Amino acid sequence: MTRGWPAILSLALLAGCASAPARFALRDAMWVDDDRRPFPRRPGELYNPPQWDRIDHTLFRPLSELFTYELDREAINVNALDEVPDSSWFTNRLGRAPMSPQRLAQGACRDAGEPPRPWTVVRAKPAGTSPGLVVRAADDRTFLFKIDFDLPERGTAADAIATRLFWAAGYHTPCNRVVRFARDDLALATEPIDGHDPPGEDAVQRLLDAAGRAPDGRYRGSLSEYIEGQPLGGWRYSGTRDDDPNDVVPHEHRREVRGMVVLSAWLNHIDARAENNQDAWIEGDDGQGYLRHYVLDVGDSFGQQLPSSPLLSQSFGHAFYVDVQHITENFLSLGLAERPYFDAPRGPAGDVLGFYDIARFDAEGWHNGYPNPAFDRATERDRAWMARIIARFTEAQLRAAIAAGDLSRPEVSEELLRILLGRRERILERYLTRLSPLTEPTVRGGSLCLTDLALRSGLRAERRYYTRAFEGLPGERRPTRGARRYGDRACMPLPAAEASPEAPAYWVVDVVAETPGRERTAPARVHLYQLGPGAYRVVGLERPDGFDPPG
């Protein structure tokens, strides 16, 4: 299918067209994308014009794309198991291994403690819409220091919490901490540092006067540690960098960039744009290096609000800032198109969470602040991939992340937890009930087992499984003995054929999960080689969207 109205045309053209199925190669799934190959010439700094970015993605890019009739395509950097390999963009953390709440709470920070004081003010914050400071801790690490301006605790808490969730999901993020401090913890530099004149006492005091206070009377702010490497500007949500030989997959076709839309929807991170990303040059001892790609600023998450326009704030996540489609639909329908955000109430947590809620959350229809070329191209499989990661977050992990926000009122923390769990359930309900939520295929003792994320996440309690197997591709259907549930795993004995390492048999096994009285998901289609009696090797996992047999 395609995006937008060309879909009609392409659907007609697609009728009767299908490509032949292909076997997976007999090899391990790729879990590491070797895109950290050092190269000698450091790329230049990329400038992202914030205003043009908004205008272009809101008006001009969509207009041009109307005439390209671009067909939807699946993401490129997807391995044989329908997962994303580790790379300079993404590291499988929660998606591949258990993570303790304590580890998640630490996030990208190298240790759990605060940087040693005093924090010497080096200069004013160089960019961004809100003022802040650059400070250097006693251990010589540099941090961006920010405060809450209009809404106490909102920004600093969101920054610390959402950054940890992004990190746990797999993205490269900075280490952000909420800090409480006294005036004496900030020292003013007496001379220029790194060529920058430090701000005066008055400027610092003005900033502190605007800062919120913790219940213990100390100031409240956040410290964001400078990321490793030299910053080279924010990576964009489309295209590649010509000066990075490792960057060969157009960003709009990277699954972790596309799938971010679901994570952003969960957290209501509406400000996903190039200016909030960062490429960093990671240089080795030999002077060569590579680029690592960070998601830098997610502090708008949860309840971002514009004090001047609560109504616009209510629409965050439901419509673009200037939503041409909504405006047109609302106009033509005389307002009969339902827009629940127009009367969204502020939640019980007040300004800290604003209009962040469950009731009006539409996991599929969530909107970034303005159109995003990668989010626009996210397919069902990209979205389901991120949903599977989100399914792995436990309540204990979420509590640990929320604790990092140092919210002063426990009821606000509880409310945030409630909303996160509620929105998570909506995401899982949407994306784990159509494509298969079965994952992590393993073979042991002649049995194939898969983890059922609908069970593990608590989305479903009862399950039935149906299986079928095909020898070859396209192949002959062979009888199977069904699958049984073991905890949150579904296991089935594999059929056998005459096979040897020299003449392996190729098997395609479909496992369908069904919740009695509710949905029957499309199958998890596992591809295996049988290399001998009882010797199987998983080489691929597909998630078709229907029940047609392979081939």
Shortest Å distance, C-beta 384 to other proteins = 16
- A 10 A CB-CB count for 2 gives 17
Shortest Å distance, C-beta 334 to other proteins = 6
Distance between CA atoms of residues 250 and 232, nearest Å: 18
Of residues 534 and 551, the one with the C-beta less far from other proteins: 551
Shortest Å distance, C-beta 526 to other proteins = 14
Of residues 399 and 537, the one with the C-beta less far from other proteins: 537
Shortest Å distance, C-beta 224 to other proteins = 24
- The pairing of beta strand 119-124 with beta strand 133-136: antiparallel
Shortest Å distance, C-beta 302 to other proteins = 19
DSSP letter, residue 126: -
Of residues 9 and 112, the one with the C-beta less far from other proteins: 9
Shortest Å distance, C-beta 254 to other proteins = 11
Of residues 132 and 540, the one with the C-beta less far from other proteins: 540
Of residues 42 and 218, the one with the C-beta less far from other proteins: 42
Please say whether the beta carbons of 539 and 80 come within 8 A: yes
Distance between CA atoms of residues 123 and 334, nearest Å: 53
Shortest Å distance, C-beta 193 to other proteins = 22
Q: Which of 420, 377, 427, 425 is nearest to 401 (CA)?
A: 420
Shortest Å distance, C-beta 532 to other proteins = 21
Of residues 330 and 515, the one with the C-beta less far from other proteins: 330
Distance between CA atoms of residues 399 and 385, nearest Å: 23
Q: Which residues make Cβ contacts (< 8 Å) with residue 403, sequence separation at least 6?
A: 105, 413
β-bridge partners, 540:
527
For residue 232, what are its two tokens?
Answer: 């080279």
Shortest Å distance, C-beta 463 to other proteins = 28
For residue 235, what are its two tokens?
Answer: 């990576």
Write the CA distances from 185 to 115, 137, 138, 485, integer angstroms.
Answer: 11, 10, 11, 57
- A 10 A CB-CB count for 44 gives 11
Please say whether the beta carbons of 289 and 149 come within 8 A: no
The dihedral sign for the CA sequence 349, 354, 356, 358 = positive
Of residues 64 and 102, the one with the C-beta less far from other proteins: 64
For residue 534, what are its two tokens?
Answer: 């009882």
Shortest Å distance, C-beta 488 to other proteins = 26
Q: Is the peptide bond before 371 cis (omega within 30 degrees of 0)?
A: no
Q: Please state the separation of Cα 26 from the chain's center in Å.
A: 30
Of residues 77 and 106, the one with the C-beta less far from other proteins: 77
Q: Which amino acid is at 452?
A: D
Of residues 33 and 406, the one with the C-beta less far from other proteins: 33
Q: Which amino acid is at 289?
A: G
Of residues 334 and 461, the one with the C-beta less far from other proteins: 334
Q: Which residues make Cβ contacts (< 8 Å) with residue 223, sequence separation at least 6?
A: 114, 115, 119, 135, 143, 144, 145, 176, 177, 179
Of residues 424 and 527, the one with the C-beta less far from other proteins: 527
Write the CA distances from 211 to 69, 183, 357, 439, integer angstroms.
Answer: 50, 11, 27, 46
Shortest Å distance, C-beta 8 to other proteins = 11
SS (H, E, C) 447-460: EEEEEEHHHHCCCC
Q: Please state the separation of Cα 145 from the chain's center in Å.
A: 25
Of residues 152 and 540, the one with the C-beta less far from other proteins: 540
Shortest Å distance, C-beta 299 to other proteins = 22
3-state helix, strand, coil split of the chain in percent (to 5) is: 30, 20, 50
Q: Which of 110, 239, 128, 116 is nearest to 167 (CA)?
A: 110
Shortest Å distance, C-beta 330 to other proteins = 5
The dihedral sign for the CA sequence 74, 79, 84, 88 = negative
Of residues 430 and 527, the one with the C-beta less far from other proteins: 527
